[in-house]
Homo-oligomer: A and B are copies of this chain.
Amino acid sequence: MLKRYLPILTWLPHYTRRLAGADLLAGVIVTVMVIPQSLAYALLAGLPAVVGLYASILPLLAYTLLGTSRTLAVGPVAIIALMTGAALSGVATPGSPEYVQAALVLSLLSGLMLTVMGLLRLGFFANFLSHPVIAGFLSASAVLIAASQAAHLLGIASSGFTALELVTSLAAHLDQVHWPTLVIGLFCLAFLVGMRQVGERAFLAMGMPRGLASLLTRTGPVIAVIVTTLLSWQLQLAGRGVAVVGDIPGGLPPLTLPSLELPLWRALLVPALLISVVGFVESISMAQMLAAKRRERISPNQELVGLGGANVVAAFSGGMPVTGGLSRTVINFESGARTPMAGLFAALGIGAVTLAMTPLLEHLPIATLAATITVSILTLVDIPLLRQTWRYSRSDFSAMAVTIVLTLVEGVEAGIISGVLLSIALFLYRTSRPHSVLVGRIEGTEHFRSVERHETETVSHVAMLRVDESLYFANARYLEDTLYALVANRPEVEHVVLICSAVNLIDASALESLDAINARLQDSSVTLHLAEVKGPVMDRLKHSDFLDDLTGRVFLSTYAAWKELKKPRDTSA
């Protein structure tokens, strides 16, 4: 019981020096690698850079205690940072103390929601975010994030959270381009893209093992940070108008108390819910993929608790909303992390940096961070998937397209909510007009298929109809229409067999319709039979009067119905 809620107890007793060695190495590598992105994502959310560091310390400890994934690395991530910025700018002015305060409330709310969802075992909620909606949302968000970083690369002021706002704001300030900043930004962009494109192949060609090559490729941002910081310091670029990170207060994360103002909580309720769900989806996808690779198991509901705990801790230690991050987790995994202890070591490492080494970051140009964000985020734009989805399914494509368009035009919340609602509506619409076919016997077998698609054997006085959907309120009336039309168009029919192999549920509305159909067919001297009714559906029917009133029989298989009914009525009378 205790182990279920404190997964650390399952692995800590078996912890060995060997594991500790691997975890320590991974912790050190993660420390170095995630500092640039932690700073960058805090800036993306409109928060002081140091908030990104704070959010990468104590929240990691909480996840180490509560999480079930061995290699997930928690911290600020790009999408959540973007959503945080959009949410906060609705309630406070970026740069103001209220803005930073609201970030704590957002973390706390999101943390509480995640924890409650986990304790109530509501992890399945995340399933309602379909793949096309997630993919569309990620692509559109990546474009938004890139647009928001463009201002930093150009060294101009710009603001906004929708594509329109960002583009007009950029256009309005385009005459103020700061050339030294742009040069740094372009240099970093080119370097980072180069590392991604040719780095790994080059290292492999130099004879390095694949793991090390892949890891070295990922040092791109660290190298860019070091080189541009040194340049900026030597050339005193800050004095020439290049925006730099500036003075970061050193010291351990402060103890912060999130505000308890009700209006603020209410205003952040929906954003917090969306941040929770999106963060959870990103995190759980990552964790499941890695668990599969190492044949480990994770518990989605306990993951909710783990991420919830991390966010609650973030709220009390000057942080911002966090989740399991894509790139930091890959770094952790590839650096050889074996247990969540690696997260603890990384937390200690980042804590040490925050305590003593923030002056080193003073001269780091913002443009470097913007380039880092832009390059990592643009890999999320997945154009081929759009084409694939269009080919496969128009309704999946439309959900994706609506998500993309509304995310760009109206913002991240509108995008994701519309995508989810449209997916559900399309699914319901589909099930409300079920596919149904008359089937016949495939000669020489006991197998029955569509008379239109296959060569089949039929008799004219028996209509065998397979309805390809559960029967429930949304299609109950449609079922009636289908059957009445069938009987009206074929006056020679004496028996109707409703094949229920695809009927997984008959709800009370559909039961009433079946009752009506049975009575109405009886008026026309047509007998209604059922076939292949599944166990759970049959159990349910036995609790109603329908089976007593049914004019025909319930056959175990379509073949049994066929054998019995194919003789004409006069011989059986």
Measured between beta carbons, the chain B residues less than 8 angstroms from A396 are 507-509
* A437, A473, A475, most chain B CB atoms within 10 A: A473
Query: Could you give, for residues 405-443 of chain A, a 1 whenever the CB lies within 8 Å of some chain B CB and a 0 otherwise?
Result: 000000000000000000110011111111101000010
* Chain B residues whose CB sits within 8 angstroms of the CB of A502 once the complex forms: 501-504, 534
Contact, CB under 8 Å: B392 / A544:
yes
Residues of B within 8 A of A429 (CB): 124
Question: Which of A392, A428, A501, A540 is most buried by chain B, counting CB atoms within 10 A of its CB?
Answer: A392
Report how far A395 CA is from B556 CA in the complex, Å.
27
Q: Which residue of B lies closest to A131 (CB)?
A: B509
Is there contact, CB below 8 Å, between A130 and B543? no
Binds B, one of A65-73, A363-371, A444-452: A444-452
Provide the A488-531 mask, 1 if CB < 8 A to any CB of B, else 0: 00000000000001111101110110000000100000000000
Instruction: Please report the C-alpha to C-alpha distance between residue A132 and residue B510 in the assembled complex, in whole angstroms.
Output: 11
Contacts of A292 in B (CB 8 A): 520
Task: Report the minimum CB–CB distance from A76 to chain B (whole Å).
Answer: 26
Complex Cα gap A470–B426 (Å)? 14
Shortest distance in angstroms between A502's beta carbon and chain B's nearest beta carbon?
Answer: 5
Where chain A touches its partner, the secondary structure class is helix
- CB of B544 within 8 A of CB of A478, answer no
Q: Is the CB of A508 within 8 A of B445?
A: no
Pair A474/B392 contact, Cβ less than 8 Å: no
Q: Tell me the complex Cα distance, A133–B509, Å.
A: 9
Q: In the complex, A536 Cα to B436 Cα: how many Å?
A: 11
Report the Cα distance A505→B556, complex, angstroms. 25
Q: Does the CB pair A509–B132 fall under 8 Å?
A: yes
Q: B124 and A453: CB pair below 8 A?
A: no
CB of A472 within 8 A of chain B? Answer: yes
* Shortest Cβ distance from A420 into B: residue: B473
- B507 adjacent to A428 (CB under 8 Å): no
- Say yes or no for A535: interface residue by CB 8 A criterion: yes
Give 8 nearest A-B pairs by CB, closest first: A130-B473, A446-B446, A396-B508, A131-B509, A468-B504, A447-B557, A501-B501, A130-B509
**Residue ranges of A at the interface with B (Cβ–Cβ < 8 Å):** 124, 127-133, 292, 388-389, 391-393, 395-396, 423-424, 427-435, 437, 442, 445-447, 449-450, 453, 468-470, 472-478, 501-505, 507-509, 511-512, 520, 534-536, 540, 543-544, 556-557, 559-560
